[in-house]
Structure 1
Amino acid sequence: MKLLYWLDEWLTLARDEQQARLPMVGGDLLGDVYVKYDFVDLNRPLLFLFSPAGTDVQEHDLHDDFAPWGYRLAKKQNVNVIAFQHLGKSNWFRNRNVIFFLEQIATMLDPFEQRLGYGLSRGGFAIGSFARLLKLDQVLLFHPVSTKNKQLAPWDDRSSTDIAQQFDWEGAYHDLDLGDAKGYIIYDPTNRIDRSHAKRYPQLKHLRVFGMGHGTHATYLNKFGFYKQVAVDFILNQDIDIAQFRQQTRTLRFKEDYYKQLNRANKNSAHRLGLLSTAHRILIDEKQAHIQEHQAQIDIQPLIDVALKHQETHPEDAIQLLEVAQQLAPDDPLVAHKLKQLE
């Protein structure tokens, strides 16, 4: 555990000397978890990351340039980062080597005055369970999992819960323990298990995204950069712009995948499916109005000017330009007239 030895010596230095020793970059293998760290500036936040489910990294996949989940995103924000990547599919950061490392490093972080935690699903469990130990100030959790202890969460009947019983869910750090941490928890309230886990985080601000699904199943959110936008806002500002967040989720409502996710989540409720069908029909009308509103704001005159300029020498190109203009403004009489002339 090279980092522990380095920190032990580093802590004996004055603050300006500590800063002069940075950056410090490296990695350690802690049994079935790989940790990679990059300390760049004492005046910047220290961000803890724990990987979510959905990755199956093995020890032979590790190399000098390997980046755990979220590591590259954190580096781009120029913050200090400690990122934990679980190895293998079924891994809940319950390995004693990992816990010992965290207990040791928790006593060596005083120079970093601001500490953040970010995790999805399984990674969010780790952030929540180690938050008090690491003295985290702010956390961002997606798709919450508070514990896999069946006594504490008997309603969590996912298959992952049964598989997770191979680990100790009675010992230290088996349940959420946020300490003084504040922050945000983001989840889909139509997912009954996520909703029940979320209720166990009353000190966090709850942001609900209907139809978001759980974890890696919400691939369309990744596609639209939703997670990244929210995470960057949190890392840079230790805050989330709620108005912008609402606008982002409103945009998602225009995606058909959004309603497909909702329908799957509510497939056993005829009443909810009926409400969703009505909402979907309203959405179609709203989407059309949204498109028309933006079309009205588009200035097609430059396209028309170029088409008219080249209609004699390059009539086919002029037609293509006018066809694009017509798609943007289907009711424009000049475009329709010129197209009729050229065709």
Structure 2
Amino acid sequence: MKLLYWLDEWLTLSDNEKQAKLPTSSGDLLGDVYVKYHFVDLNKPLLFTFSPAGTDVQERDLNEDFAPWGYHLAQKQNVNIIAFQHLGKSNWFRNRNLIFFIEQLSTLLSPFETKLGYGLSRGGFAVGAFAKLLKLDKVLLFHPVSTKNKLIAPWDDRSSTDIAQQYDWQGDYHDLDLGDAEGYIIYDPTNRIDRLHAKRYKQLTHLRVFGMGHGTHTTYLNKFGFYKQVAVDFIANQQIDIAQFRLQTKTLRLKEDYYKKLNKANANSPHRQALLSTAHTILIDEKAAHVQEHQEKIDIQPLIDVAIKHQDENPNDAIKLLEVAQQLAPDDPLVEHKLRQLE
């Protein structure tokens, strides 16, 4: 466990000596979890990430250049990072070697004043479960699972719940325990199980995104840069600009391509298709209102002025400009009058 030994020795140094030892990076294999760390600056936040489902990494895939989920993102933001990557498909960070490592690690991080946690789904579970132990200040969670303990969450009837029963859901760190951490939880309220898990994170700010779904949706949201944009904002500022977030999600959800891709991704899941249909229906009226709102704000007068100025020399171009103006403001009487004149 190179990291524990390195930190133990590092803590004996003065602040100046600690800083002089940075940057440093390395990795450790902890049973069925690989951890990689990169420390750059004592004055920067320390980010913890835990990998989500779908990152099916095997031990044979590990090498010096391997980067766990979230590792490169932290490097680009120039913050300190400890990234945990689960190995195999069904892995809920319940390995005793890992838990012992995190317990020891938590006692060696006092030089870092700000500690952040970031995770999606299964990774969100781990952030929530270890948040108090790691003394996290702020967390960012996307549709996390709060636990797979059937007594606590009997309504979580996903197939992953049955598979997860091979692990201990009675011992330490099997359920969310945020301690004093604040932050954000982002999820799709039309997904019943996600909504019920999210309700258990009472101390976090809830941000709801209709149609975001769970699981395979993440691949397509990544193509829109959704997760990255929110995470970068969180890492840089330790908070999310909620007004900007709502504008971003509204713009995303009003793209028909968003729903087309999500529907394609879930073609074999009637349940998810139904959720997407519900979300899409809810947003139809919102989209119409959104378009109307923007039409009302558009000033078409410059188009009319240019069209009138050039109507004698280039009547066809003037007509095209007025047709554009009419699309933006269908009920404008002046545009309609000028079009009748020119046509």
Separation in 1 of the partners of 2:149 and 2:321?
60
2:274 aligned partner, one-letter code: K
Helix, strand or coil: the match of 1:124?
helix
Separation in 1 of the partners of 2:86 and 2:321?
52
Q: Which residue of 1 aligns with 2:203?
A: 203
Matched, 1:146 2:146: yes
Q: Which residue of 1 aligns with 2:220?
A: 220
Contact 1:47–1:117, Cα closer than 8 Å, also in 2: yes
Q: Which residue of 2 aligns with 1:254?
A: 254
Separation in 2 of the partners of 1:72 and 1:231?
12
Q: Structure 1 residue 217: deviation in Å?
A: 2.1
Q: Which residue of 1 aligns with 2:82?
A: 82
TM-score (norm 1): 0.82
Matched, 1:47 2:54: no
Q: Which residue of 2 aligns with 1:267?
A: 274
The 5 Å alignment of 1:84-163 reads 84-163=84-163
Q: Which residue of 1 aligns with 2:311?
A: none
The 5 Å alignment of 1:1-343 reads 1-256=1-256, 265=272, 267=274, 273=278, 277=281, 279=282, 281-283=284-286, 285-286=288-289, 289=292
Q: Structure 1 residue 242: deviation in Å?
A: 0.7
Q: Structure 1 residue 253: deviation in Å?
A: 2.6
Helix, strand or coil: the match of 1:117?
strand
Cα–Cα, structure 1 residues 284 and 103, in superposed 2: closer, same or farther, change >3 Å? closer
1:53 aligned partner, one-letter code: A
Helix, strand or coil: the match of 1:42?
coil
Separation in 2 of the partners of 1:288 and 1:239?
30
Percent identity between matched residues is 70
* Deviation per residue, 1:234-261 (Å, 9 max, x gap): 1111111010011011112312255566
Q: Structure 1 residue 285: deviation in Å?
A: 3.7
Helix, strand or coil: the match of 2:117?
strand
Cα–Cα, structure 1 residues 113 and 284, in superposed 2: closer, same or farther, change >3 Å? closer
1:192 aligned partner, one-letter code: R
Q: What RMSD over aligned residues (CA atoms) do the two structures have, in Å?
A: 3.4
Q: Structure 1 residue 83: deviation in Å?
A: 0.3
Q: Structure 1 residue 286: deviation in Å?
A: 4.3
Gaps of 5+ in 1: 305-318, 337-343
Contact 1:120–1:215, Cα closer than 8 Å, also in 2: no
Contact 1:190–1:265, Cα closer than 8 Å, also in 2: no
Contact 2:183–2:205, Cα closer than 8 Å, also in 1: yes
Q: Structure 1 residue 31: deviation in Å?
A: 1.1
1:167 aligned partner, one-letter code: Y
Separation in 2 of the partners of 1:327 and 1:3?
66
Separation in 1 of the partners of 2:2 and 2:137?
26
Q: Which residue of 1 aligns with 2:312?
A: none
Q: Structure 1 residue 171: deviation in Å?
A: 0.9
Separation in 2 of the partners of 1:49 and 1:298?
52
2:32 aligned partner, one-letter code: D
Contact 1:298–1:328, Cα closer than 8 Å, also in 2: no
Helix, strand or coil: the match of 1:116?
strand
Contact 2:211–2:253, Cα closer than 8 Å, also in 1: no
Separation in 2 of the partners of 1:146 and 1:297?
51
Separation in 2 of the partners of 1:11 and 1:298?
67
TM-score (norm 2): 0.82
Cα–Cα, structure 1 residues 325 and 68, in superposed 2: closer, same or farther, change >3 Å? farther
* Deviation per residue, 1:289-330 (Å, 9 max, x gap): 4786798679899xx9xxxxxxxxxxxxxx9x99x9899768
Helix, strand or coil: the match of 1:113?
coil
1:64 aligned partner, one-letter code: E
Contact 2:300–2:325, Cα closer than 8 Å, also in 1: no
Separation in 2 of the partners of 1:192 and 1:213?
10
Cα–Cα, structure 1 residues 94 and 129, in superposed 2: closer, same or farther, change >3 Å? same
Contact 1:212–1:258, Cα closer than 8 Å, also in 2: no
Separation in 1 of the partners of 2:29 and 2:297?
53
* Deviation per residue, 1:3-45 (Å, 9 max, x gap): 1111111111111111111111111111111111001111111
2:10 aligned partner, one-letter code: W
1:90 aligned partner, one-letter code: S
Separation in 1 of the partners of 2:205 and 2:34?
31
2:45 aligned partner, one-letter code: P
Separation in 2 of the partners of 1:24 and 1:297?
58
The total of aligned residue pairs comes to 320
Helix, strand or coil: the match of 2:106?
helix
Cα–Cα, structure 1 residues 65 and 276, in superposed 2: closer, same or farther, change >3 Å? closer
Separation in 2 of the partners of 1:100 and 1:204?
27
Separation in 2 of the partners of 1:58 and 1:255?
37
Task: List structure 1 runs of 4+ shifted beyond 4 angstroms.
Answer: 257-266, 286-301, 324-333
